[in-house]
Structure 1
Amino acid sequence: MKLSVLDQSPLLLGMTPQDALQQTTELARWTEELGYHRFWVSEHHSTNSLAGSSPEILATHLAGQTKNIRIGTGGILLPHYSSYKVAEAFRVLETLYPGRIDLGVGRAPGGINNVNLALNRGKLPNTEEYPAQVNDLMGYLHGEDPKQMGIHASPRGKTAPPIWMLGSSGTSARVAADMGVSYSFAHFINGYGGTRAMQRYQSYFKGSIQQTKPLGNVSIFAVCAETEAHAEYLASSLDLAILKIEQGGIRHYFPTPEEATNYSYTMYEKQRIQENRRRMIVGSPDQVKKQIETLANYYEVDEVIVNTIVSPFEERMRSYQLIADAFQL
């Protein structure tokens, strides 16, 4: 089974955005050394605790800092952008690093209206156009002229980065199947309905210029430590972070385990934490390995993407190492 990484460039206590991006770079190098298959970076706008707002630029930097690991976006929020412009950006990336680039795209425009307006020159994006955008994007990536405008996405080349459609619902799964692209379910965002979405994707898949068979993976939060007790201690900070995000709290950094341990939770907040644990895998190496294998079996995929956000940074590095060692990558 393949293991991969999703990194959101989180700001930990005392860290600056520059520190967060440097940690992402260190993590890409480290996980490549450990044997992880791919490394994706996300797109988040107008946030205080996540530094990754332009994944195509960050992916370019990371590809130059690594040698073999696949580098990609998890993902580009396509409704905000021109398919032609995205295609050209990734044709450049593919030309620089042939055979190593993934183009992950998402249908959801994001949850902040003013950001959506700023990205679209005062208008809200039309997600109903998303399937047509993906179709155009694939055509441009493969040297076609989907709009019959007498143009092509340059630079041309013999290879094209594969499109991965990211989703947390059955809607994206069906679009990915109809378009004939790969599909990644964000279990770390939605702990319900993922297996049905993946089954829908696999059942309705239609071949395309990109691929002839369905290809899927699943992403999840994971925290691993030498003991279950220490893993639970580290994961408590992620519990609190997710809770505060749900409550609309504005934070400038991800909480520490000490802060989470000293936090006074209401009964409702404790229930929410337990519910959100459906989006996480926490435990010792053997426990995490077993849970990841179970998750992959449920989804009927051979790749799981791990997203680890704990403090301090050394514990994040260690978590990825323990998981890699458990799977003998």
Structure 2
Amino acid sequence: MKLSVLDQSPILSGMSPQQALQQTTELAKLTDELGYHRFWVAEHHSTQTLAGSAPEILATHLLGQTKRIRVGTGGILLPHYSSYKIAETFRLLETLYPQRVDLGIGRAPGGKPNVNLALNRGRLPNIENYPSQVRELISYLHGEDPEGMGIHASPSGHTAPPVWMLGSSGTSARVAAEIGASYSFAHFINGYGGAKAMKRYTDYFQPSVQQSKPAGNVSVFVICAATDSEAEYLAASLDLALLKIEQGDLRSHFPTPEEAFHYSYTMFEEEQIAENRSRIIVGSPERVKEEIEDLARYYDVNEVIINSIVSPFENRLQSYQLLAEAFQLTENVK
């Protein structure tokens, strides 16, 4: 089974955005060496807690800092942009780093409601056109002229980055299937219904110029430490962070385990934390390995993307190191 990484460039306590991006770079280098399959970076706007606002730029930087790991976006929020421009951006990346680039796309706003207006010159994006936008994007990536305007996305080449449609519902799964794209389910956003969405994707998949058969994966929060008790202690900071995000109150940084330990939870908040644990795998390497394998079987996929937000950063690195050892990922490194 393949393990991959989703990194949102979280700004940890006491860290600056610049340090968060430096940590993303360090993590990409480490996971490249450890044998992880791909490394995706996200798009978030107008936030004080996540530093990644332009994943195509960050991915370019990371491709130059790594050797073998696939690097991509998780993802580009396509309704805000021109399909032609995104196609040219990723055709250029593919030309610079052949067969190492992934183009993950989504249709979410990527931040507060007004982000939609700011990114679209005061207008709301037309998400109804999203499926046709994706078709257009794939056509441009593969050297076609979908609008018949006598143009092509340059630079041209013999390979193209695969388009991965990101989603947390059955709707996006059906669109990915009908278009013939790859599909990634965000279990770390929605801990329920994902297996049905993935089955819908595989059942309705239609071959395309990009690929002849379905390709899916699932992303999940994972906190791994030497022991179950240590992992639970570290995971308390993510519990608190998710709670504060849902309350609209995560303003400056991701909390530390110490902050979570001293926080006074209401009964309702404790129930919400327990509910959010459906999105998180926590424990020792042996326990986490077993649960990741169970999740892969549940989704019927052979790739799981790990999103580990742990403070301090050294514990975040250790989480990925322990997973690599448990799954013997270094065997994938040539």
Pairs within 5 Å for 1:248-259: 248-259=248-259
**Is 1:51 equivalent to 2:43 in the alignment?**
no
CA contact (8 A) 1:296 1:302 kept: yes
The amino acid across from 1:95 in the alignment is T
Deviation string, structure 1 residues 85-133 (Cα, Å, up to 9, x no partner): 0000001100100000000000223352211101001000111100000
- 8 A Cα contact 2:225 2:284, kept in partner: yes
Q: CA separation of 1:242/1:26 partners in 2, compared to 1, >3 Å: closer, same or farther? A: same
Quick one: which amino acid aligns to residue 162 of structure 1? P
TM score, norm. by length of structure 2: 0.98
Q: Find the residue that maps to 1:211 and give its secondary structure.
A: coil
User: In the alignment, is residue 234 of structure 1 matched against residue 234 of structure 2?
Assistant: yes
Partner of 1:194: 194
CA contact (8 A) 2:47 2:111 kept: no
Aligned to 1:160: 160
In 2, the alpha carbon distance for the partners of 1:115 and 1:102 equals 25
Partner of 1:288: 288
Work out the CA distance in 2 between the residues paired with 1:4 and 1:250: 27
Matched residue, 2:332:
none
Query: Which whole-Å CA distance do the structure 1 matches of 2:152 and 2:32 have between them?
Result: 34
* Ranges of 4+ aligned residues in structure 1 off by more than 6 Å: none
- Number of aligned positions between the proteins: 329
* Aligned match of 1:220: 220
The aligned counterpart of 1:5 is 5
Letter of the structure 1 residue corresponding to residue 177 of structure 2: A
Cα deviation digits, residues 287-308 of structure 1 (max 9, x gap):
0000000000000000000000
CA contact (8 A) 2:45 2:111 kept: no
Name structure 1 gaps, 5 residues minimum.
Answer: none
SS in 2 for 1:51: coil
SS of structure 2 residue aligned to 1:72: strand
| Residue type at the aligned position of 1:278 | S
Structure 2, gaps ≥5 residues long = 330-334
Q: What's 1:125 paired with?
A: 125
The residue identity in structure 1 corresponding to 2:105 is V
Q: Which residue identity is paired with 2:284?
A: S
For 1:155-202, what per-residue CA distance to the aligned partner results, in whole angstroms no more than 9, with x for missing partners?
001100000000000000000000001000000000010000000000
Alignment match, 1:183: 183
- Tell me how large the CA RMSD over aligned residues is: 0.6
| Equivalent position of 2:98 in the other structure | 98
3-state DSSP class of the match of 1:76? strand
Task: Please tell me whether the aligned partners of residues 167 and 184 of structure 1 are also in contact (alpha carbons under 8 angstroms).
Answer: yes
CA contact (8 A) 2:241 2:250 kept: no
Q: Deviations along 1:190-231, whole A, 9 cap, x unmatched?
A: 001000000000000000000000000000000000000000
Task: Specify the alignment match of 1:171 in structure 2.
Answer: 171
Q: How does 1:197-212 map to 2 (within 5 A)?
A: 197-212=197-212
Pairs within 5 Å for 1:254-269: 254-269=254-269
Is residue 108–residue 127 contact of structure 1 (8 Å, CA) maintained in 2? no
Identity, % of aligned positions: 74
- TM-score, with normalisation over the residues of structure 1? 0.99
**CA–CA distance in 1 between the matches of 2:5 and 2:110?**
22
1:107/1:172 contact within 8 Å kept: no
Aligned: 1:60 with 2:98: no
C-alpha deviation, 1:251, in angstroms:
1.6
Where does residue 311 of structure 1 map in the other structure? 311
- Counterpart residue number, 1:32: 32
> Is residue 237–residue 255 contact of structure 1 (8 Å, CA) maintained in 2?
yes
| CA deviation vs aligned residue, 1:27-51 (integer Å, no higher than 9, x gap) | 0000011110000000000000000
